[in-house]
Structure 1
Amino acid sequence: MKITRTLRSVPTGPDASMPTAAEFFAGIGLVRLGLEQAGIKVVWSNDIEPAKKEMYIGHFGENADHVFVSGDVGEINGNEMPSNLGLAWASFPCTDLSLAGWRRGLKGSESSTFWGFTKVLREMEHSRPPVVALENVVGFATSHGGEDLAEAIRELNSLGYSADVLTLDARRFVPQSRPRLFVVGALNPPEDGPIINSDLRPDWLQSPFGDPTLRTHQAALPTPPPPLTSGLSDYVEHVGPEGWWESKRRDAFVASLSPIQAERLEKLKAQPVRTYRTAYRRTRNGKPTWEIRPDDISGCLRTARGGSSKQAVVEVGAGDVRVRWMTPSEYAKLMGAEEYTLKNLRSNQALFGFGDAVCVPVVSWLAQNYLVPLMQGKLQKSATPELAVVNG
C-alpha cells in the first residue's frame, strides 16, 4: 500500500521541551489522548485504516506540529522518522494473539506487523527513542506457550532495550472489563524495584522474568486503583422508545437464554428498580444464544465487524425488559473518551474504532507513573509504591 502523509514536517514549537512520542497503529487516537493527559506530546502517528484516520483527523484536526502517515507500517522508512523522540508506542493488531482468534501468533498476517514496527526502530539506528511501549491482549503472554512474547522481547533486546512486562485492566478506571498486556522497553532501564506488584505482574506473567536468555527489568510502580465492581448504569445513554428493540426481537433475545441466564434475568426483572446489564451473542452447540453479564460492568468492547461482536444493553426491572445495541456514545464513555468527536460518524465506524482502541485512563496512568519518569530518568528505584489514581 502506498504511504501518504497529511503533513511533511514536525516544526519545533514553544512546547518543544515536552517529551515527544510517535504512535504506531494509532487507530482513532485514544493512546494520544492518554499520553497527552500525562504531558507527552504526540508528533507523529500511523495507521492503515482509512475509516480510523477519518475519525482521528475529525477529532484532532490537522496542524503544523503533527504528522499522520497513512499506510502499511512495513513501508515506513525509519530514516524519515522525527528526531529526538522520547517514546514509540505500538498497539499492533491482536487478531492472531487473541484467545478468540486462530492463535497464529507473531507469524499471523496481522499480528506479524510487529516486525514492521521493529524494522522502523532498527532503521532509526542511533536516533531510536529511549522508551518503547507495546500494547496487546493478555493472550499475547500465552500465545504459542509464551514463545511469541519471548520472541518479541528478544527482538527488543536486539535493539538495545531491556523489557518490563505488566498487565492493566481498564476496569480499574472505567466500568468495562478490558485486561491488556504492556511491554515497556528501555535503553536505560531502572533498577528492579524491591516489591513485585502482583496486581501488575501476576503469577501467569512471571515467565519472561525467569528466562535467562531475555534481558528484563521490573520497575517499582504505584499500586493502581482497585477494580470497579459497578458503574455501568451511570454510563448508559438515555434514548427514546424508538431506540429499543421491538417486542418480537426482544422476545427472541429472551428465548435464546440458557436456563441459568433466564433465571438471572427473571430475578433482575422482579426487582422494583431498573438496572442495566450488557450482553453478547455467542454460539453454543451450534446455536446462537445471548449471555448477560451478572454485574453492573460492561463486557470488553470489541470491533463491530459483525453481530456477534456488538454488545447489547439490557434494561431490566419493575417487571419489564428492554434490549438495544450499545451506542457510540456509550462506547466512547467506556473507553474514557467521553468528549470524543462523534458528529457525522457512521455508527459501525464509531463502534469499530472504539472497540479496537486502548482505554484512555489506562494509557494516562501508565504514562504518568512509568513512561514519563522513565524518559526523564526520574523513575523511583527504591521507594515504597503508593496508590496512584488518574482521573479518567
Structure 2
Amino acid sequence: MESPRELLKQARSRFTQKQIAAHLGVNARTIKRWEARENDPPKFAAPALQQLLLPIDNPDNSAGEFSFIDLFAGIGGIRLGFEAAGGRCVFTSEWNEPSVKTYQANFPDTHPIIGDITKVKASEIPDHDVLLAGFPCQPFSIAGVSKKNSLGREHGFRCETQGTLFFDVERIIEEKQPKAFLLENVKHLLNHDKGRTFEVILRALRDKLGYEVHYKVIDARYFVPQHRERIIIVGFREKTGFSWNDLQLPDISKRAPVMKDILHPENGSEEPEGHYTVGKKALVNEDKYVLSTKLWRYLKNYAKKHQAAGNGFGFGLVGPDDVARTLSARYYKDGSEILISRGRKNPRRLTPRECARLMGFDRNGRKFVIPVSDTQAYKQFGNSVVVPVIETVAKIMRPHILSLVDAERSGVRQLPIAV
C-alpha cells in the first residue's frame, strides 16, 4: 500500500478537501494541515484514502451494510460477531503486540492497527456507524480488585493505567457521534464501588452523550460449555425499538453444550496440529499439557487448605459431560480453573485449540489461526469475548442500526432522546 501522503496527493487531484474530510470523518482543516505538512496523515488514513480512489462500481467500495470501529480489539472476537451481522470494520486499535499478531493473522487484509488509543485524536478516527469496545476489565473484576487491594493499588476509575480508558471511549463517541455502540465488560462492573462506577458510566452515556442505553448480563453457558457472565452495554443515538426481549438464547433444556463438544476427540477424526496433538489418532500431547505430579499435589493441597478455612478456592476438574468455570487470562500459570479429568492419571490443561473452541472462535467451519505461544494464546482467549454471544447481540442490534443508517442517507433524523 502506498503511503498516506502519496494517496492524499492522488485523492486531491479528484476531490476537494471537504470531500476527502467527509470520507475520512475528519475536519477539512485537518486535511489542509496534512497538505501543508504541518503534521503527517496517520497510517490508518491510508486504507480509507485508497478506498476513496476505487472506481465507483467497485463492490469492495461498499462492502458491509454498516461500518464499525474496533477499540481495545484484542484478537478480534467482537469484530467477528459484527462482521457476521453484516458490518465492515474501518478502524482497529490494540496496543498488545502478541494480540496484534493474532489479529493480523486472522484479518490479513485489514487496515493498519493503531496501538495506544489514548494518543489518537478522536477527530482523526474515521466516521463509523457503530463503536465497539471491550474496554479493559481488570480494574473492575473481582480478582483484579482483590489483587490491587492486596498491593495497595487503586482500582476502577482510580486505576489510571486501565480504568480511565472508558473515558477514551466517551471522548470518541462525543466527537464522532456513532449511530450505535456496544461495550463489553465483566459482570462485577455493575457492583464495583457499590455501584457508583457503573452509575458514572451510565450518566456519561445517557446524560452527557444523550444515548438510549440498554444493558444486560449474559452467561455464555447457552452457547459454549463455560460459565462466563459478562455485561453487554448497548446504546443508540436515536430512539429505537431495541429490546432485550428480542434476544433469543438457545434452548439448553434438552441438549446443553458440554466439554466433549470442544475437546480433542483423540480418535483420529481430526488431523494432528502442531504440538497440541500428536500421532495418527491426534492424541493430546501429554508432555506438554498433563500436569506434573508436583503441581497436581500442590493444587490438591491448596484446595484442601482453603476448603478447611471455608473458602471456595481450588481447582476445577471437569469431565466430558461437564461445564467449565470461566477461562481467565491467568490460565497459562497452572490451568487450575479448568482441568480435564483423566481418571486416576494426572489431569491436563486445555490446549489453545480447545480454548479457541471454548470461546466460540472455532465455529461454523472457521478455524481460528493461533500464531503465538501457548502462554500468549491462553492470555488472549482468557481476555476475549465468547464470539457467539456477540453474534447474537449484533443480530438483534442490526435492524436498528440499519434503520438509523437509512434515515441518515435519506436525510431524515429521528426525534432526539429526551434526557
TM-score by length of 2: 0.68
- Give me the whole-angstrom Cα distance separating, in 2, the residues matched to 1:4 and 1:48: 16
- 2:368 maps to which of 328, 340, 344: 340
Q: Among the aligned pairs, what percent are the same residue? A: 24
Counterpart residue number, 1:208: none
Checking the alignment, whether the CA contact within 8 Å between 2:352 and 2:377 is kept in structure 1 is: yes
Structure 1 unaligned segments of length 5 or more: list them.
193-217, 262-282, 379-392
Deviation, structure 1 residue 31: 1.0
Q: Which has the larger radius of gyration?
A: 2
Distance 1:232 1:184, change over 3 A: same
Deviation, structure 1 residue 160: 2.2
Counterpart residue number, 1:214: none
Given the alignment of the two structures, is residue 116 of structure 1 paired with residue 168 of structure 2, yes or no? Answer: yes
- 1:234 maps to which of 244, 261, 270: 261
The one-letter amino acid paired with 1:342 is I
- 1:353 maps to which of 367, 372, 380: 380
Q: Deviations over 1:256-306 (max 9, x none)?
A: 543999xxxxxxxxxxxxxxxxxxxxx978998534369711211111376
Checking the alignment, whether the CA contact within 8 Å between 2:92 and 2:113 is kept in structure 1 is: yes
- 1:133 maps to which of 162, 182, 189: 182
Counterpart residue number, 1:9: 47
SS at match of 1:315: strand
Q: Equivalent residues in 2 for 1:94-109 (5 A)? A: 94-102=137-145, 104-109=155-160
SS at match of 2:284: coil
Structure 2 unaligned segments of length 5 or more: list them.
1-40, 53-59, 147-154, 265-282, 405-419
SS at match of 1:102: helix
Greater relative contact order: 1 or 2 (C-alpha under 8 angstroms, separation 6 or more)?
Answer: 1
Q: Deviations over 1:314-360 (max 9, x none)?
A: 3234xx233122211111111111211014x1111111111111111
Distance 1:183 1:235, change over 3 A: same
Checking the alignment, whether the CA contact within 8 Å between 1:5 and 1:70 is kept in structure 2 is: no
Counterpart residue number, 1:25: 72
The one-letter amino acid paired with 1:21 is F
Checking the alignment, whether the CA contact within 8 Å between 1:331 and 1:354 is kept in structure 2 is: yes
Count of aligned pairs between the two proteins:
320
Tell me how large the CA RMSD over aligned residues is: 3.1
Deviation, structure 1 residue 219: 5.0
Counterpart residue number, 1:199: none
- Give me the whole-angstrom Cα distance separating, in 1, the residues matched to 2:285 and 2:235: 48
- 1:324 maps to which of 334, 348, 351: 348
Q: Deviations over 1:231-276 (max 9, x none)?
A: 1123123414434234454444445543999xxxxxxxxxxxxxxx
More strand by share: 1
Distance 1:26 1:132, change over 3 A: same
- Give me the whole-angstrom Cα distance separating, in 2, the residues matched to 1:323 and 1:120: 47
SS at match of 1:112: helix
Q: Equivalent residues in 2 for 1:1-392 (5 A)? A: 5=43, 8-10=46-48, 11=51, 13-16=60-63, 18-63=65-110, 66-71=111-116, 73-83=117-127, 85-102=128-145, 104-109=155-160, 110-124=162-176, 128-157=177-206, 158-191=208-241, 218-226=243-251, 229-237=256-264, 238-243=283-288, 244-258=290-304, 289-292=314-317, 296-304=322-330, 307=333, 311-317=337-343, 320-338=344-362, 339-343=367-371, 345-369=372-396, 371-377=397-403
More helix by share: 2
Distance 1:48 1:246, change over 3 A: closer
- Give me the whole-angstrom Cα distance separating, in 2, the residues matched to 1:310 and 1:289: 7
- Give me the whole-angstrom Cα distance separating, in 1, the residues matched to 2:312 and 2:178: 50
Distance 1:260 1:321, change over 3 A: farther
Distance 1:99 1:250, change over 3 A: closer
The one-letter amino acid paired with 2:342 is V
The one-letter amino acid paired with 1:106 is F
SS at match of 1:168: strand
